[in-house]
Amino acid sequence: MNRHIVVRFAPSPNGLLHLGHAYAAMMAHDFARERGGQFLLRIEDIDSARSRPQFVEAILADLQWLGLEWDGDVIFQSDRLASYAEAVERLKDMNLLYRCFCTRTSMRQEQEAGSQAEGPDGPIYAGTCRHLDPEIASARAETEPHSWRLDVTKAAAMTGPLEWLDERHGTRVTREGALGDVVIVPKDTAVAYHLAVTLDDARDGITHVVRGDDLFASTDIHRLLQALLDLPTPIYYHHPLLLDESGTKLAKSRDSASLSVLRTAGHNGHELVDRLRTGNFPVGISLLAS
């Protein structure tokens, strides 16, 4: 085994996996195995409101059914909350986080008023709370729910220009503005995806992050967080996404055919992976060219 290559599959247990996840898991698994490396499974269950134990069980059963074996114990983000809290404190000490009191409604209103630009993950936060007086903000925090956002402009000024390498797309120079001031601590959970994933990829010794093109823009934020927190930068490989017959990305929320339905109906998971591997996709499924 080549201990210098470590890859992971990192699903969130907030729904059933679909064909797009099977493709992503296969890409990460094969990337590791073809290079004699390790393949880890990390369950990203930090969102306690949406994560469910039955989805964790289904993920494990789906991967076994697909024949995509992982190395070592399954890693759970919910076991690591203390390390995320420590990093949040560090970012606060660096004066890079600010409290945000905006609600879904107030942000929708801003969007309707045209003050939010559109980003790859939806409207970009307009920065309404960025310049709140810290004393006023801390008084409001006594009674008002709030999240903590990263001041990406300030953070980027601190780090200077940053680069990262994608084996498929080439070298990138970060454009931290692409996603705006992302949430680091949501209102109702301990930590948001961007910080948890960045810390864990470093902690798990991930050398190559293999994941879908939908997370491409997020990598600029992850690269920024790596620079701020003195973490190593893995190499990235963002693979194309699967589309359904209407040309739409497969998504949990739209109830795209789940793997567990195919599994319990007696389909052969190994054969399915082989079809995905060779590009012989099930009827109606295609790859988004990018």
- Residue with smaller CB distance to ligand GLU, 127 or 186: 186
Instruction: Pick the closer one to ligand GLU by CB: 7 or 129.
Output: 7
15 interacts with ligand GLU by CB under 6 A: no
Amino acid present at 260: S
Window contacting ligand GLU (CB under 6 A); options: 7-15, 97-105, 134-142, 151-159: 7-15
Task: Rank residues 5 and 197 by Cβ distance to ligand GLU and give the closer one.
Answer: 197
27 binds ligand GLU (CB under 6 A): no
CB 253 to ligand GLU: min, Å: 12
The residue range among 5-13, 63-71, 81-89, 243-251 that interacts with ligand GLU, by the rule CB under 6 A, is: 5-13
- Residue 147 or 219 with smaller CB distance to ligand GLU: 219
What residue spans of 35-174 are helical by DSSP H? 53-66, 81-93, 104-112, 134-140, 152-159
Out of 29, 80, 149, 211, the residue judged to bind ligand GLU by CB under 6 A = 211
The CB-based long-range contact list for 115-123 (8 Å cut-off, 24+ gap) reads: 117/180, 119/178, 119/179, 119/180, 119/217, 120/178, 120/179, 120/216, 120/217, 121/179, 121/217, 121/218
How far does the chain reach from its first CA to its final CA, in angstroms?
32
CA-based radius of gyration for the chain: 20
- Minimum CB distance to ligand GLU smaller for 29 or for 211: 211
Contacts of 28 (CB under 8 A, 6+ apart): 7, 8, 9, 39, 210, 211
Find out whether 189 and 46 touch, Cβ atoms under 8 Å.
yes
Question: Which parts of 238-267 interact with ligand GLU (CB under 6 A)?
Answer: none
Q: How many helices (H) and strands (E) does the chain have?
A: 10, 14
List the one residue from 26, 126, 155, 197 that touches ligand GLU (CB under 6 A): 197
Choice from 6, 10, 46, 192 touching ligand GLU (CB under 6 A): 10
- What is the side-by-side order of every strand in the sheet holding 75-76? 6-9, 38-43, 75-76
Helix (H) / strand (E) containing 123: strand 122-123
Q: Which is nearer to ligand GLU, 40 or 88 (CB)?
A: 40
Give the three-state DSSP class for 47: coil
Residues in the interface with ligand GLU (CB under 6 A) total 7
In whole angstroms, the minimum distance from the beta carbon of 17 to ligand GLU comes to 9
In the complex, least distance from residue 11 CB atom to ligand GLU, rounded to whole angstroms? 5
Task: Kindly state whether residue 215 participates in binding ligand GLU, applying the rule CB under 6 A.
Answer: yes
Least distance from ligand GLU to the Cβ atom of residue 81, Å: 16
Angstrom CA distances, 6 to 44, 181, 210, stand at: 17, 30, 10
Counting contacts by CB under 6 A, is residue 11 touching ligand GLU? yes
Among 19, 25, 44, 202, binds ligand GLU (CB under 6 A): 44
The C-alpha atoms of residue 243 and residue 245 are separated, in whole angstroms, by: 7
Which residues make up the interface to ligand GLU (CB under 6 A)?
A: 10-12, 44, 197, 211, 215
